[in-house]
Chain A
Amino acid sequence: MSVGSTWGKILHVNVTDGKVWVETPPDELYLKLVGGRALEAYLLLRDTPAKADPLGPDNLVIFAPGVFQGTNLPGAGRHSVGGKSPLTGALGSAEAGGWWAHEFKRTGYDALVVHGQARSPVYISIKDEAVEIRPADHLWGQEVVEVEAAIRAELGDEKIRVAQCGLAGENLVLMANVINDASRAAGRNGLGAVMGSKKLKAVAVRGNRNVQVADRKRLTGLAKWLGDNYQTLAKWAWERGTPGGLTVLNRASALPTRNFQDPDFPGAESIGWETLHTSILIGRDTCQACPIECKQVVSYDGQDYPDSPAFKTQVKGKATLNKVYGGPEYETLGSFGSTCGVDDIVAVSKANEWSAAWGLDPISTGMTIGYVMECVERGLLTAEMTGGFLPQWGSSADMLEAVDMIAHRRGFGDKMALGSKRLARWIGDGAEQYLVEVKGQELPMHEPRLKAALGVGYAVAPVGADHMMNIHDTGYAAPGGGLDRVNAVYQVGPLPPSALSAEKMTLFYHEVNWQHFQDCAISCMFYPYNYVQLAEALSAMTGHEYTPLDILAVGERAQQLARLFILREGFTEQDDRLPKRVMQAFKSGPLAGVEITDEALHNARQTWYGLMGWTPEGVPTQERLAKLGLTELLETK
């Protein structure tokens, strides 16, 4: 092993015939790709045929930590899950926190690639380097915590960590996610359905092998710096967590409301952090080696909480909340809350709980329900079409019923389970004009009319609309923050959030490469690390020197490979678009009159294509691929 913090081993399992083999990639693969998303895109290009059925045996499901996992670096309690997305037909690549990644890396493998399609349900057990494919018929249809408990019991080890598809994945819901550690999700792109299609219920891991960091002493300094500074530099995360910004975003017309139609959600206070904090929040949770504890944990026994004036629930006495599934984060509060016009924090938290218990992506699920509510309001969906299910804006009961129907594919849920884009095609009659998606994936809870380059990021991301492999323009509107970080490689001052100038797109180029790097290495994006620090960390771990520009090149490699993959699958620059609804100005509120024109979007996209070394049609050039050292790697089979 000449690349520190790696094992030099990728585990492959074919669940069709039970074949297990270990690939020993060249050092170059680790040094150039580092892991996570870049590795996923590379393996999909190499090991799947073009235009493979995402739910067929030729697709892969890839569990890919990166170099950082197993090292105890704070922020490294994460992994990526990849495959061809059944929701979009594009790249599927989603990350999750928790403990699974640390445990997996300590088994002695750098990644797991699952091929084929089993005849009956199975799960994969990996204990240190020993691999076993075990029957999972008895786990099929069970809730997430029951599956976790059953696997631990039958293998006789309470320290086993489990990643699994929920019953939504079993039912091939195209918005199904991959859950690990009961409350963490590789949430987007429908990868739970890929597991379900393979009849792969779970991957259970237990590792006792110590990852060998090339220079442990050099790494310790960064961990100590984080420990000394997180309470100041990540104050928002440990103090309030992601729900902390909800009411503030609403004051700026940036809380998506009723399928991105309205500039204000009157019920924002009732689903905001202040209400959460004074009613059902009972604690906070965290990931492996993380002191920040940003995760929410809620519990509810059906009683009222009179000391919180904004607390109200239409499902009082009918809904209890189980703390084992954590609690709602900002995305969930928006998708099941404001997007559906629902201001009932218990109902929203219940939908969040079901999303974990059954394995659903809360963003796409909530957005699809909001879309259905709009189609009902506009008369595009009738009782005859939906079997009598006509959900109304603001109804907690309707929203919850829809989640249940989708997960179980019950009644009209069978159609909703396909996501909003396929649903629109089925509805016809102009229903597509109300869609809020890119490449078939519904928008997350961030507003392009406030953050213009985020809108470009939605348009060009290889997975469809995504807020994490993206920038948030408000982070560069004043000195400090994101500007300090990007100034390490590009000097620029504060830029208006609405700007799509060449300066903004150059900033976007570097910062999106940085985000992709963090999904290769893999590091939590809520951490206050900068380019210099993670270049130092990667150098210390691998024993090979990386500069800030070197780690940004890793992120760019992930994007180039992802682009090659989605072009192979039939996507073109025409798919790098934004839904009209989020380009058109609100008529009132703080963003009144703020629009994104077709010309501005086109120019920004072309600027970024140029920075990526792509043709005006969005195709990577051989020159850029060669410069990044990808040509040889792509020729190796």
Chain B
Amino acid sequence: MSITVEAGGSLKARIVPHLTLKDVPTVGQAIERLRLPPDVALIMLVNGRIAHWTTELQDGDVLQLLPTIGGGAISITTAR
């Protein structure tokens, strides 16, 4: 199976448009494959609907990743 990843906001600079990922059974596994920067908290959408880390993916799904930077979005980052 393969899915398409679309990035929003500041993540556009890190993820190419229409990126295809193969064999990622869940949203979490897709995100781990992308190795995102440490200060990003994410809103995850699958086929335009809100999703979460353990949401299962199907062949042809579109995963949108929207970084929730700023906006008083406290608690988004910490030291590792």
Report the nearest B residue to A511, measured CB to CB: B75
* Other-chain contact of A233, B31, B38, B66 (Cβ < 8 Å): B38
Question: Do A251 and B78 touch (CB < 8 A)?
Answer: no
Chain A 458-501 per-residue mask, 1 if CB under 8 angstroms from chain B, else 0: 00000000011011101111101110110000000111111000
- In the complex, whether B68 has a CB less than 8 A from a CB of chain A is yes
Question: Do B37 and A245 touch (CB < 8 A)?
Answer: no
Question: Do A494 and B52 touch (CB < 8 A)?
Answer: yes
- CB within 8 Å for A515 and B74 given contacts A252-B45, A494-B53: yes
* Other-chain contact of A481, B9, B52, B53, B78 (Cβ < 8 Å): B78
Residues of A contacting B74 with CB < 8 Å?
467-468, 470-472, 475, 515, 525-526
Residues of A contacting B70 with CB < 8 Å?
236-237, 240-246, 273, 330
Question: Do A245 and B69 touch (CB < 8 A)?
Answer: yes
Chain B 39-52 per-residue mask, 1 if CB under 8 angstroms from chain A, else 0: 11111110011101
Residues of A contacting B45 with CB < 8 Å?
251-252, 590
- CB within 8 Å for A472 and B38 given contacts A233-B79, A252-B43, A252-B50: no
Complex CA gap A592/B67 in Å reads 20
Question: Do A445 and B71 touch (CB < 8 A)?
Answer: yes
Complex CA gap A246/B71 in Å reads 7
Residues of B contacting A444 with CB < 8 Å?
72
- CB within 8 Å for A481 and B50 given contacts A232-B38, A235-B37, A248-B67: no
Residues of B contacting A498 with CB < 8 Å?
50, 52
Chain B 18-54 per-residue mask, 1 if CB under 8 angstroms from chain A, else 0: 0000000000100100000111111111001110111
Question: Do B50 and A331 touch (CB < 8 A)?
Answer: no
Residues of B contacting A251 with CB < 8 Å?
8, 45, 64, 66
Q: How far is the CB of A165 from chain B (nearest CB, A)?
A: 23
Report the nearest A residue to B55, measured CB to CB: A496
Report the nearest B residue to A594, measured CB to CB: B50
Question: Do A478 and B73 touch (CB < 8 A)?
Answer: no
- In the complex, whether A315 has a CB less than 8 A from a CB of chain B is no
Of the four ranges (under 10, 10 to 19, 20 to 34, 35 or more), the interface on chain A belongs to 35 or more
- CB within 8 Å for A239 and B80 given contacts A446-B72, A474-B68: no
Interface residues of A in 495-512 (CB under 8 A from B): 495-498, 511
* Other-chain contact of B73, A229, A239, A245, A496 (Cβ < 8 Å): A245
Residues of B contacting A480 with CB < 8 Å?
38, 77-78, 80
Chain A 245-256 per-residue mask, 1 if CB under 8 angstroms from chain B, else 0: 111110110100
Q: How far is the CB of A486 from chain B (nearest CB, A)?
A: 9
Question: Do A232 and B39 touch (CB < 8 A)?
Answer: yes
Question: Do A474 and B41 touch (CB < 8 A)?
Answer: yes
Question: Do B43 and A244 touch (CB < 8 A)?
Answer: no
- CB within 8 Å for A475 and B75 given contacts A233-B38, A240-B10: yes
Q: Which of A233, A248, A444, A497 has the most CB of B within 10 A?
A: A248
Question: Do A482 and B78 touch (CB < 8 A)?
Answer: yes
- In the complex, whether A450 has a CB less than 8 A from a CB of chain B is yes
Question: Do A530 and B28 touch (CB < 8 A)?
Answer: no
Residues of B contacting A481 with CB < 8 Å?
38-41, 75-78
Report the nearest B residue to A493, measured CB to CB: B53
- In the complex, whether A14 has a CB less than 8 A from a CB of chain B is no
Residues of B contacting A450 with CB < 8 Å?
43, 50
- CB within 8 Å for A254 and B39 given contacts A244-B9, A245-B71: no
Question: Do B69 and A528 touch (CB < 8 A)?
Answer: no
Complex CA gap A470/B71 in Å reads 14
Question: Do B79 and A529 touch (CB < 8 A)?
Answer: yes
Interface residues of A in 109-151 (CB under 8 A from B): none
Of the four ranges (under 10, 10 to 19, 20 to 34, 35 or more), the interface on chain B belongs to 35 or more
Question: Do A474 and B72 touch (CB < 8 A)?
Answer: no
Question: Do A247 and B9 touch (CB < 8 A)?
Answer: yes
Complex CA gap A529/B38 in Å reads 13
Question: Do A474 and B73 touch (CB < 8 A)?
Answer: yes
Question: Do A590 and B41 touch (CB < 8 A)?
Answer: no
- CB within 8 Å for A475 and B49 given contacts A484-B79, A494-B28: no
Residues of B contacting A528 with CB < 8 Å?
39, 77-79
Residues of A contacting B28 with CB < 8 Å?
478, 494
Complex CA gap A529/B75 in Å reads 10
- In the complex, whether A234 has a CB less than 8 A from a CB of chain B is yes
Q: How far is the CB of B23 from chain A (nearest CB, A)?
A: 20
- In the complex, whether A591 has a CB less than 8 A from a CB of chain B is yes
Question: Do A590 and B48 touch (CB < 8 A)?
Answer: yes
Question: Do B79 and A472 touch (CB < 8 A)?
Answer: no
Q: How far is the CB of A101 from chain B (nearest CB, A)?
A: 19
Chain A 518-530 per-residue mask, 1 if CB under 8 angstroms from chain B, else 0: 0000000110111
Question: Do B71 and A244 touch (CB < 8 A)?
Answer: yes
- In the complex, whether A533 has a CB less than 8 A from a CB of chain B is yes
Interface residues of A in 3-17 (CB under 8 A from B): none
Q: Which of B43, B53, B54, B66 has the most CB of A within 10 A?
A: B43
Complex CA gap A519/B52 in Å reads 31
Question: Do A530 and B78 touch (CB < 8 A)?
Answer: yes
Complex CA gap A482/B68 in Å reads 13
Question: Do A248 and B68 touch (CB < 8 A)?
Answer: yes
- CB within 8 Å for A331 and B72 given contacts A235-B39, A529-B78: yes
Complex CA gap A237/B69 in Å reads 8
Q: How far is the CB of A441 from chain B (nearest CB, A)?
A: 15
Q: How far is the CB of A593 from chain B (nearest CB, A)?
A: 9
Residues of B contacting A232 with CB < 8 Å?
37-39
* Other-chain contact of A249, B49, B50, B68 (Cβ < 8 Å): B68
Q: How far is the CB of B52 from chain A (nearest CB, A)?
A: 4
Q: How far is the CB of B9 from chain A (nearest CB, A)?
A: 4
Question: Do B10 and A234 touch (CB < 8 A)?
Answer: no
Complex CA gap A206/B40 in Å reads 40
Interface residues of A in 245-300 (CB under 8 A from B): 245-249, 251-252, 254, 273
* Beyond known contacts A515-B74, A590-B48: 14 more, CB 8 A cutoff: A233-B79, A236-B67, A245-B69, A245-B73, A246-B70, A248-B9, A248-B66, A329-B72, A470-B74, A475-B41, A477-B44, A484-B80, A485-B78, A529-B79
List 15 contacting pairs A-B, 8 Å CB cutoff, sorted by A: A232-B39, A236-B69, A244-B71, A248-B66, A251-B8, A330-B72, A472-B41, A475-B41, A478-B31, A478-B41, A484-B80, A497-B52, A530-B78, A590-B48, A590-B49
For the complex of A and B, the 6 pairs showing the least CB-CB separation, nearest first, are A236-B69, A330-B71, A496-B52, A494-B53, A245-B71, A485-B78
